[in-house]
Amino acid sequence: MTSKFSPAFLFSLGGLVMSIPLFANAHNHGVPLTEIEQKASEGIFENKDVQDRPLSDWDGVWESLNSYLLNGDLDPVLEQKAKKGDKTVEQYRAYYQTGYATNIDMIGIEKNVIEFHVGKAMSSCKYTYSGFKILNYASGKKGVRYLFECQESQSKAPKYVQFSDHIIGPRKSQHFHIYMGNESQEALLNEMNNWPTFYPYSLTKDQIVDEMLHH
C-alpha cells in the first residue's frame, strides 16, 4: 500500500499506526451478520436488542471521506443513489457535503484513547463510556449512538463523542459516523445534518467506493 500521508505524520500516530494491518482486508466483513444485525443495519430493530459496546469496537486508524467527496472520487456512489433515490446527483452531493463536512483528516483509536488529526496538529484524550441512546427518525427508521466522554480537563480533544455505525451490539466497526462537541451529549443528539464519516485508513479509494456501492 502506498502511504497517503508523510512518514512524519504516521510517526505522530505512535502505536496506533500498528493497527493499520488489521484493516488490510477490511472489505472482508468477518462473521456474517445475523438476521437481527442485518435488519439493524437498515434501521429496523427492537429496542431490547440494543447492547452496550466498548470503545475497542472502533479501534484502528481511520480517514475522513470528506476529501474523497470533494474531489469527485465518490461520484459513482452519488450516481447510483440518484438512480435509486429521490434526489439528483447534485442534490445528493450537497447533502453529503453537509453531512461529511469536517476539518479532521484522520482518527486513531486504541486503549480507550482517541486521537484527532487536523493537518499536522493532533489532540487526544482518554474516553469513558456513557451508554447509548436510541433515536427515532422521521423516516420511521431508528438508529443508535454510542456515547463517550473525555476524562482529561486540559485536553483540546472534543469533550463529548458519539459513534453511529448501523450496529447495535458488540462487533468491530467497518466504518462510522461521528458526532463531536464540547457542550453536552444532549446537544449532540440533536445534530442530524452533520455526521463526519470515517473508513479504515488502509482502504484504497477504489475499495472505499466498492464498499459504498455494494454494502
Going by pLDDT thresholds of 50, 70 and 90, the confidence category of residue 152 is: very high
Going by pLDDT thresholds of 50, 70 and 90, the confidence category of residue 17 is: very low
The Cα 26–Cα 11 span in angstroms is 22
CA of 32: how far to CAs of 14, 19, 132, 135, 158, in Å? Answer: 32, 22, 24, 25, 34
pLDDT at site 214: 87
79 or 28: whose pLDDT is higher?
Answer: 79
pLDDT, average across residues 81-90:
94
Say if residues 156 and 140 touch (Cβ distance below 8 Å). no
pLDDT, average across residues 151-159:
96
pLDDT at site 63: 97
pLDDT at site 33: 87
Going by pLDDT thresholds of 50, 70 and 90, the confidence category of residue 32 is: confident
Helix (H) or strand (E) holding 76: helix 75-84
The pTM of this model reads 0.88
Going by pLDDT thresholds of 50, 70 and 90, the confidence category of residue 30 is: low
Closest CA to 20 of 35, 34, 1, 43: 1
pLDDT above 90: percentage of residues in the chain: 83
Could you tell me the sign of the dihedral formed by the alpha carbons of 108, 110, 112, 113, in that order? negative
